[in-house]
Amino acid sequence: MLASKKFILPPDFDWQLWVDRWDRMQERYLVRREERFMIIANLIQATQPARCRILDLGCGPGSTMYHLLASLPETQVIGVELDPAILALAEPRLKRFGHRATLIQSDLRNPDWYKDIPLPVNAVVSATALHWLNAAELANLYHQLAQLLTSGGIFLNADHVPSSIPAVQKYW
């Protein structure tokens, strides 16, 4: 499941407690978070084949991945995350989905972050990660995603990413 350096949780570590804490913290930042997950799953289901591959950028402990895997039973979801400790929380959370869940440790700011991503990718999603990237990094990432996505693929970002364009910022 994990394609990177392995961070080992201590024995008897209550990973579920920490995942729940993470989710509660994220709910304060991302209003109506569960509703956003549902909308993402519905949009993917409406626009992509049932057996599709989804890439989750900045997957954290697998919150979005869990929802997508549970909602879309024929999909494969690949989570990319920089922090090995957070990935260690995602592993037990996503274990029940077996080979349908893949975790990759990589830095989205690195030009070759996507080298381990199996292609094709039908959908790219993110929930609370891309706001950490500056404008140049975000533009580069968007260019890379355009190369990774299949024709007709979809990119859905549930994050609050600032824009220097006033009209975009107003509606964001």
Euclidean distance between CA atoms 22 and 90, whole angstroms: 11
Residue type, 123: A
List the beta strands (DSSP E) in the chain. Answer: 2-3, 53-57, 76-81, 101-105, 121-126, 149-157
Task: Give the alpha-carbon dihedral of 129, 74, 21, 90, to 10 degrees.
Answer: -80
DSSP, res 10: P
Is 33's pLDDT higher than 80?
no
Give the per-residue pLDDT at 162.
Answer: 66
The residue behind tokens 């920490």 is: 18
- pTM of the predicted protein model: 0.83
Q: Which is the CATH superfamily of the domain at 32-171?
A: Vaccinia Virus protein VP39 (3.40.50.150)
Q: What is the pLDDT of residues 68-117, one digit of tens each?
A: 999 999 999 999 999 898 898 999 999 999 999 999 999 999 999 999 89
Give the per-residue pLDDT at 29.
Answer: 66
Q: How many CB atoms lie within 10 A of CB 15?
A: 15
By residue count, the chain amounts to 172
Between 155 and 35, whose confidence is greater? 155
